[in-house]
A and B are shown apart, each in its own frame.
Chain A
């Protein structure tokens, strides 16, 4: 019997709960609405971009361009609103269009030119970061009453914690992604492509359309994350969100998604993002630890989850093919 494909998800959930219990045991104040609200607000853009990354990694690819796309979108919005005087809603639509098209173009290059996703999205990362620099190298503030109105939307928790709009947008994105992955044909095609591209093709999965669609989703969600980031900071800055792609990949892996593709859940990514946010909150509460411990702990968690996937993989092959297992290991 094979192990349940949900096992890595359960491990992620257990990790989150254990981390939460450990944090609360030390700082009882961490179990509050206020902390929960901040956790959602501060990680909203990371969560949204991690959803796109989940699609890409489920299909066996990788998208390194998302951090640059967020920065580009935030600068693009700020410049459009300040210099062109466009209404923010129209600017949002334009930004989403540009980022989705950009993702689709990368998907087309990956599929039609048969290039590894890694190097194509690397080029995309340079291009978008460069375009952001070309638009403006300074931090451009956004001062529009519509922004103020969007930022004033929140639900006040009993202890004064504010669940802001962008936190709800992140949760909505996760819910929609779950529906798309498990209830639509596109979602099934993503899993099929990640399992084995050749098998998927033989089964009649439209490879070109699916690949382009996946990178368009990732690009579009990165653009959406850029909008959320712009609402979060009220500014556009071309040097912002450097390295967010790594955080997103780490969140997806810690969430239990297999990096070779084909297995994983968006829900896991959600808890992956929360675990990373929890580490940062713990460091803030502690006050003694320095910020670099975040990187070291996330690196350690990354290693632990990769190792877990490896061990589960070995266990599965050993049980399926007990006769050939010893030969394969030599």
Chain B
């Protein structure tokens, strides 16, 4: 099991090592970690800490994409959850109640998406587009367009505090990842999700309650987004409905794609997606540390996606497979590449 997982995430580990090495080249002090006031400081810790929102979103997004869906609304849900938590704490509630309210808001958003996709049968990209457009408006309505600041140490501790020398966001995302990973891999849940992603109809005929499962994955995505939103709000001690989580859905999808998960559903690996999130953060950090203009960040990210797309393309995979077969080398893949999918399945 562990060996299989390691083989699955080997490419991502290699890319991460490469990205970290790049950091080391542009900034030799990159790996130094020092202890100060009972807390670890260093660029490596920073990558783990700053990558927390993307990592959290990537966990939910992996499950959604495994069912051949997509959730475009996570950025807007982050803004809503942050606004709800900030509202609760500024109106005098305890920070745990505020966190609960934020999570509840995320759960409602997730259930709404799940309802549209699973019950009404709307394409996921369209169904979640509704909340992506309207959700940010709702968040702005909650904060009345301003940045809602708060001074609660408990809530801001979620974003900027530290437990046992490590920043709190790191504990949160690692904890959520472990919980989600154990839940899907120690039970049959992961396999059922993959079954729905590969072919929903045959999964349903085989007795899988695909409707409940679909609602559940969107619910998890909503909860993960809400947690990320509360962390971001806690970090800046305020809920910024305009900018919180802006374009985060794209980073989350990118993390899942870098993790080698197919956008067409099926086999998934949460660990690989998390490595994808860390790779994105390391690349960001390398660009910052190298002193290159930040403007290049997006261009490099785009080129990275294009390179990964080309590698993952079914056509390129087939070509490589044929090349291996024709040169007489033993093909590593025992399974022949999938036949061309019917065209309408290739659409998202």
Contacts and interface: CB of A to CB of B under 8 A. Distances in A.
Interface of A: 60-62, 109, 112-120, 122-127, 129-131, 133-134, 137, 196-198, 201, 246, 249-250, 253, 259-261, 290-296, 298-300, 302-303, 306-307, 310
Most buried by B among A60, A134, A303: A303
Given A118-B125, A298-B134, A310-B120, A196 B310 contact: no
A124 B302 contact: yes
Contact of B263 (A119, A250, A296): A119
A116 B263 contact: yes
A198 B342 contact: yes
A119 B122 contact: no
Contacts of B141: 290, 292-293, 296
17 contacts: A109-B306, A112-B315, A114-B340, A116-B264, A116-B346, A123-B309, A130-B299, A130-B302, A134-B299, A292-B136, A293-B141, A296-B134, A299-B137, A300-B134, A302-B130, A306-B122, A310-B122
A122 B309 CA distance: 11
Contacts of A126: 250, 298-299, 301-302, 305
A290 B309 contact: no
A137 B134 contact: no
Contacts of A113: 309-310, 313, 315-316
B343 interface: yes
Contacts of A123: 302, 305-306, 309
B133 interface: yes
A294 B125 CA distance: 21
A269 B144 CA distance: 31
B228 to A, nearest CB: 20
Contacts of B122: 306, 310
A122 B250 contact: yes
Contacts of B293: 134
B125 A62 contact: yes
Nearest to A249: B129
A87 B299 CA distance: 28
B244 to A, nearest CB: 14
B168 interface: no
A295 B132 CA distance: 9
B299 A131 contact: yes
Nearest to A122: B250
Interface string B246-268: 00001001100100000110000
B239 to A, nearest CB: 14
